[in-house]
């Protein structure tokens, strides 16, 4: 799963070369001489040199053909990658959201035979554009003031759209690869920003001025791959899941199905290869993971600390000695009696 995999493959190739050479030597009936040792050495070196050449040329191939290899994806999946570290600092809410989306899409991708590695890594980076204006996205605000309350709905829509362009620029700057850039650009498709669209409609008199729905839709394009579509679905489902007040399994199931149905009816999945069977499997996968995330915890009773009986008895005895306890030891009484004559005249 790392670049060392190539070296292991080269070593295996070297062993295979050696075995084939020895087999051919035996079949031909040639003696085992010094020339055979030279050939064996070349066979071993061939496998190892191939591994080195492939390792060195992979970045060139990725650059020339705009292809993102699994090795590149594994490097990007490292949570210490510069972009992810910056995202964690600048927009911690978005970072957490992206990690959860990554978990959702990885499991769903395995269920529909998509690329789980690409889906997970692309999910980590799909919202990196929010780093430019993190406080305009609700997951980074917490209980503070919502800055969109002071903006016109049209301006809020433009800010939300901008995170796609900003994300593409950051991805190109850090050379994240074409596959990641495509997901950043496509993961909202041409979806409607319904909250701001409805807000705009409520603020104007439609008999005088019409609100153009196109002004409140993302620019697209729609998802072209199953991985991009998975991230679109998981992105919406995770965001909606955080608004559930009592996330019971039934409510989670209803929320997931509603989100997926709305995206499907809106035509956002028309250009990817997801089938209805895939959507059913995706919904089941999302429900399972979200139910685990939102599960109810048992209310544990407060611990009751019992006093040690021996310690309690020792404390009582020590207290009795300190206060005299109303009694005197027998030896002390006898000595006092002798001193006072004890009433016998002795």
The CA-atom distances, in angstroms, between 324 and each of 279, 317, 342 are 83, 10, 22
Residue 74 has pLDDT above 70, yes or no: yes
Region 202-218: mean pLDDT is: 87
Q: Residues 285-313: pLDDT tens digits?
A: 999 999 888 765 555 566 655 555 555 55
CB 223 within 8 A of CB 268: yes
Which region holds residue 342: left if phi is over 0, alpha if psi is between -120 and 50, else beta?
Answer: left
pLDDT classification of 61: cutoffs 50, 70, 90: confident
> What pLDDT, on a 0 to 100 scale, did the predictor assign at position 343?
47
Q: Residues 5-30: pLDDT tens digits?
A: 777 888 888 899 888 888 888 787 77
> What pLDDT, on a 0 to 100 scale, did the predictor assign at position 39?
80
Give the start-to-end residue ranges of the domains of the chain. Answer: 4-65, 70-293
The fold for domain 70-293 equals Hypothetical protein af1432 (1.10.3210)
Longest Cα separation, the chain? 133
């Amino acid at each position: 799963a790392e670049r060392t995999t190539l070296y292991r493959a080269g070593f295996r190739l070297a062993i295979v070369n050696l075995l084939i050479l020895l087999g051919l030597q035996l079949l031909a009936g040639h003696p085992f001489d010094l020339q055979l040792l030279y050939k064996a050495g070349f066979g071993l070196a061939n496998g190892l040199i191939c591994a080195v050449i492939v390792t060195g040329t992979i970045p060139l191939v990725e650059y020339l053909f705009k292809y993102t290899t699994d090795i590149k994806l594994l490097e990007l999946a490292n949570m210490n990658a510069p972009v992810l570290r910056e995202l964690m600092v600048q927009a911690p809410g978005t970072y957490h959201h992206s990690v959860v989306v990554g978990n959702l899409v990885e499991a769903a991708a395995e269920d529909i035979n998509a690329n789980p590695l690409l889906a997970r890594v692309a999910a980590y980076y799909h919202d990196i554009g929010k780093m430019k204006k993190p406080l305009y996205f609700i997951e980074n605000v917490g209980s503070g003031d919502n800055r969109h309350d002071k903006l016109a709905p049209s301006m809020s829509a433009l800010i939300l759209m901008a995170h796609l362009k900003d994300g593409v620029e950051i991805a190109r700057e850090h050379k994240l690869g074409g596959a990641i850039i495509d997901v950043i650009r496509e993961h909202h498709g041409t979806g409607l920003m319904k909250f701001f669209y409805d807000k705009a409609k409520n603020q104007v008199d439609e008999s005088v001025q019409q609100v153009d729905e196109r002004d409140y839709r993302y620019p697209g394009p729609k998802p072209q791959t199953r991985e991009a579509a998975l991230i679109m679905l998981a992105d919406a489902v995770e965001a909606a899941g955080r608004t559930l007040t009592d996330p019971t399994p039934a409510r989670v199931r209803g929320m997931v199905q509603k989100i997926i149905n709305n995206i499907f009816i809106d035509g956002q999945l028309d250009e990817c290869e997801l089938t209805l069977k895939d959507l059913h499997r995706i919904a089941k996968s999302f429900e399972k993971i979200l139910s685990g995330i939102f599960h109810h915890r048992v209310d544990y009773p407060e611990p009751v600390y019992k006093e040690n009986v021996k310690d309690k008895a020792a404390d009582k005895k020590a207290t009795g000695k300190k206060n005299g306890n109303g009694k005197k030891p027998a030896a002390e009484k006898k000595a006092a009696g002798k001193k006072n004559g004890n009433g016998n005249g002795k």
